[in-house]
Amino acid sequence: MRVYLDNAATTQLDSEVLKEMVAVMENFYGNPSSIHGHGREARSLIEKARKTIANLIHASPSEIFFTSGGTEADNMAIRSGITTYGIKHAVTSKIEHHAVLHTLESMEKSGQIRLSYVRIDNKGHIDLAHLEELISEERSFVSLMHANNELGTLTDIEAVGELCEKYQALFHCDTVQTMGHYPHDVQKLKVHFLVCAAHKLHGPKGVGFIYISHQVKIEPLINGGSQERNMRGGTENIYGIAGLAKALETAYTEMDVHQTHIQGIKSYMVQQLASIPGITYNGEEDSNKSLYTILNVSFPEMEMADMLLFNLDISGISASGGSACSSGTNIGSHVLEAIAANPNRPAVRFSFSKFTTKEEIDYTIEKLKGVIFY
């Protein structure tokens, strides 16, 4: 049996998305920058996808820009936002995705900004009072993700947005893990930048988008041609863009059904894990308090702890994880280190999708017991 429980890393391509992409590959091969008929057909397809995405998140089509994925979108928001507005102070947390952390750390190292980290608790929740303290004295750039990609911990981005508006801070939110799992309404959120990667919601790899509020105007990150209204040079990934729009449209249409199913899978796994003594959870195991697609589990200390994921893989089970760094020389999870998880206990992130079944969970629990009680 083969079991895929690493959906926070990437998801299986939806069959309807594949059909959409194949149709585009077969019929739309013109360069969308060309003014002839073939080019206009390709351009029309891109603009249709842009309008679909904009309608889903209640944005204007002019606020949606296609990218190669979440990492580029994060870099675009951070580097271009900070540079365009001459901002000298940025705030983030130590559990952000490396696309955010490494970008901000690079800018700090080069002397462009001073970087502050908002305090978090041992579940990964940010301290809103500390955030207010950090942004109250000078205009800042705030980059905080909606849901942590390792823990699943959700951030109250409505509250963060209110604080950013109060102190005129620019707010960038990495929504890669939550786009398509929760409705996002940019008419209500006080956010300047949102990002999406299609492959996290059963779309293709190598394509995503950034929402840039009409309240801000930034310089492009990638210069070249006049694509994306002069905001992102390079011939558009037409097939990927069509797949992205189809994947997000499907996710919104089926959101309630899939949320109920996946929450049930997560709760079922928590119930079954109770049969293994010494289990603890990193972040929130309650699906109502965290992203319902992620469950991060710390197992008891064991010999050959670093072989746990390998043994699961041998059994046909794909998951991911690691442990907290016990010293500066160890390569481990910066997220688990930041929440002070026990570095001697192996941690596994199980992440679910609409395709995950209870039979797969039963098989996984059986194999876990075989490894742990060996």
Catalytic residues: 325
Closest CA to 190 of 218, 215, 219: 215
Q: What is the DSSP string of 246-292?
A: HHHHHHHHTHHHHHHHHHHHHHHHHHHHTTSTT-EEES--STTTB-T
d(C-alpha 68, C-alpha 244), whole Å: 11
d(C-alpha 34, C-alpha 259), whole Å: 42
Residue environment code for 55-87, b if the CB has 16+ CB neighbours within 10 A, otherwise e: ebbebeeebbbbbbbbbbbbbbbbbbbbeeeeb
Closest CA to 151 of 103, 191, 99, 96: 96
Q: Are 48 and 237 in contact (CB under 8 A)?
A: no
